[in-house]
Amino acid sequence: MKILSAVQTREADAATLQYEEIDSLELMERAAKAFACWFENKFTPQEPVYIFCGPGNNGGDGLAVARLLSQKQYHVKVFVVGDNQNPSPDHKVNLQRLPQTIVPQTIRSVAELPPLHKNHCVIDALFGTGLNRPVTGLFAEVIDCLNYSGACITAIDMPSGLYTDSQTPDEATIVTAHYTVSFELPKLAFFLPQHEAFVGEWHVVPIGLNPAFVNDAPSDYCSVTIDDVRKLIKPRRKFSHKGLYGHALLLCGGYGKMGAAVLAARACLRSGVGLLTMQVPSSGYTILQTAVPEAMTLTDNNRKHISELPENMDNYSVVGLGPGMGKEKVTKTAIGQLLATCTLPMVIDADAINIIASSDKLKAQLPKNRIIFTPHPKEFERLVGASKNNYDRLQDMKEFCREYSCYICLKGSHTAICTPEGKVYFNTTGNAGMATGGTGDVLTGVLTALVAQGYSLEEACLLGVYLHGLAGDLALQKVGETGMIASDLTDHLPQAFMTLTNN
């Protein structure tokens, strides 16, 4: 699903009005209906609904929603904040359309706010995509009171005060919504970790913006949906043999960290690879052969660390490396040799990223269009450098991927996948239970398996990251967040694949 900027959203509105020959009031009515429908499914009419409206079309939406909810027996109160000297035209019309039973109250100071408490439902319709400066003064005081009240806040389109697609200044006051219901498409701000407390749980509701306009609008940002990844799945052939599904090589593990190699190996096997060879330090031989009998195991001459490559690299279709590897000098030398000689695609994680990040010489050896990096934010910072904020981090990631013609899966709540062309896809599966040791090793195994099977690097990133999160979501239903461990993900990978293939 494409992510448009605030400016593009306005253009999409205008295009919709033009092509569908409707007026802006009708589009607002569609938006209000879509929001009200979501709201009715979420909240019963038992509790009073307090709607706080600003001067623009976001406020207009709030007024239209008030009318629609009151028709559905909700007990609605409307508060128009500020002197409302210059309401938008559609705000004005919807104010007049309020039924007589709703008498809007103007809020000119916080002393005029109604008492609010935990059981109240608040709808935030102060500002949406038209916000053009930090919220201060009366609006900021009102937002502080709403946040402090503990009431359940649902934001229309955007939590008021948060910028749609650029860094919100530090001094700004922002609604901390429990839910945000966004029109037609998600906003870039929803995918950045520092906004979690403001956006809450977000949902997208369709309002019928012109599909041709949305399709043609240039954007570097997309979110990944189940339909996007379903299309990528390559069905297995009836007359199949293991040779058709690639031979992966995983260079993983170190003394005391063989578990990382086991997790990556199991995930690789659970993701459909034809054959898997593990190269591990010799102390890991028995562990690997016992824990993962399906994998072939080669032992390194070094007892504790990976220090060399297998003799014949021609046997393999892809190399995955990093989990549990450590940063020993011998390992760095082996990675140097790999980058200098290997012509295979590579999935590079964990300490392999740290080793490359610490050496300009290794960075200069990175082959073009053959590498997927899977850093967590700290590894990313070591590889790419520190960024001022998370928007700058997205820019820095795009520049790095362009410069090195590589892919990056920046792991997080919405893992961001960046391509060498500078396109960024945000994943939409996964949960906080996955924030535990070893889940990254699982991702390395999944991606390596997909590349082995002939998926392009981009397809492997989109599908693999989605499946990894989906396995976490399926595990969540069985074990919950707190007790989840990385092995739960490998256990649920088969079901994740089945969810995408419907069998």
Which residues are annotated as part of the binding site? 57-61, 124, 128-134, 157, 160, 260, 324, 376, 411-415, 440-441
Residues comprising the binding site for K(+)?
58, 124, 160
Out of K ion, ligand LZDS7PUF, none, what residue 74 binds, judged by CB under 5 to 8 A for its kind, is none
| Contact status, residue 412 vs residue 377, Cβ threshold 8 Å | yes
Residue nearer to ligand LZDS7PUF on the CB measure, 223 or 415: 223
Helix (H) or strand (E) holding 51: strand 49-53
- Mark the segment that binds K ion (CB under 5 A) among 11-19, 122-130, 319-327, 482-490: 122-130
Largest CA distance in the chain: 84
Locate 478 and state its tokens.
């069985």
Binding of residue 160 to K ion (CB under 5 A): yes
Q: What residues numbered 26-65 form the site for K ion, per CB under 5 A?
A: 58
Q: How are beta strands 416-418 and 407-410 bridged, if at all?
A: antiparallel
Burial of 315 (0-12, 13-18, 19+ CB in 10 A): exposed
Residue nearer to K ion on the CB measure, 130 or 254: 130
Place of tokens 């992510």: 3
Closest CA to 79 of 132, 28, 149, 29: 149
User: Which residues fall within 8 angstroms of residue 85, CB to CB, at 6 or more apart?
Assistant: none
Residues comprising the binding site for AMP?
411-415, 440
Residue nearer to K ion on the CB measure, 63 or 155: 155
Q: How far is the CB of 178 from ligand LZDS7PUF (least distance, A)?
A: 18
Q: How far is the CB of 47 from ligand LZDS7PUF (least distance, A)?
A: 23
For 271, which DSSP code? Answer: T
Rounded to the nearest angstrom, the gap between the alpha carbon of residue 501 and the centroid of all alpha carbons in its chain is 22
Out of K ion, ligand LZDS7PUF, none, what residue 135 binds, judged by CB under 5 to 8 A for its kind, is ligand LZDS7PUF
13, 61, 90, 124: residue in contact with K ion (rule CB under 5 A):
124
Out of K ion, ligand LZDS7PUF, none, what residue 132 binds, judged by CB under 5 to 8 A for its kind, is ligand LZDS7PUF
Residue nearer to K ion on the CB measure, 7 or 498: 7
Out of K ion, ligand LZDS7PUF, none, what residue 57 binds, judged by CB under 5 to 8 A for its kind, is ligand LZDS7PUF
Locate 81 and state its tokens.
């904040």
Q: How far is the CB of 5 from ligand LZDS7PUF (least distance, A)?
A: 12
Rounded to the nearest angstrom, the gap between the alpha carbon of residue 33 and the centroid of all alpha carbons in its chain is 27
Residues comprising the binding site for (6S)-NADPHX?
57-61, 128-134, 157, 260, 324, 376, 441
| Contact status, residue 418 vs residue 408, Cβ threshold 8 Å | yes
Locate 73 and state its tokens.
């027996």
CA dist., res. 75 & res. 49, Å (int): 6
Residue nearer to ligand LZDS7PUF on the CB measure, 145 or 366: 145
Contacts with ligand LZDS7PUF by CB under 6 A lie at 9, 12-13, 27-28, 31, 54-61, 88, 127-135, 139, 156-158, 183-184, 209
CA dist., res. 323 & res. 181, Å (int): 39
Residue nearer to K ion on the CB measure, 94 or 307: 94
User: Which residues fall within 8 angstroms of residue 99, CB to CB, at 6 or more apart?
Assistant: 67, 70, 71
Binding of residue 131 to K ion (CB under 5 A): no
Out of ligand LZDS7PUF, K ion, none, what residue 139 binds, judged by CB under 5 to 8 A for its kind, is ligand LZDS7PUF
Residue nearer to K ion on the CB measure, 179 or 425: 179
- Mark the segment that binds K ion (CB under 5 A) among 110-118, 155-163, 246-254, 404-412: 155-163
Q: How are beta strands 275-280 and 296-299 bridged, if at all?
A: parallel
- Mark the segment that binds K ion (CB under 5 A) among 160-168, 306-314, 338-346, 453-461: 160-168
Q: Where are the alpha helices (DSSP H) in 321-438?
A: 329-341, 350-357, 360-364, 377-384, 390-404
CA dist., res. 275 & res. 242, Å (int): 7
Binding of residue 207 to K ion (CB under 5 A): no
Binding-site residue total for K ion (CB under 5 A)?
Answer: 5
CB atoms within 10 A of CB 421: 11
Out of ligand LZDS7PUF, K ion, none, what residue 56 binds, judged by CB under 5 to 8 A for its kind, is ligand LZDS7PUF
65, 155, 174, 384: residue in contact with K ion (rule CB under 5 A):
155
Residue nearer to ligand LZDS7PUF on the CB measure, 88 or 448: 88
Out of K ion, ligand LZDS7PUF, none, what residue 133 binds, judged by CB under 5 to 8 A for its kind, is ligand LZDS7PUF
CA dist., res. 166 & res. 5, Å (int): 9
| Contact status, residue 124 vs residue 160, Cβ threshold 8 Å | yes
Locate 96 and state its tokens.
């007049």
CB atoms within 10 A of CB 196: 13
- Which residues of the shown chain bind K ion in the complex (CB under 5 A)? 58, 124, 155-156, 160
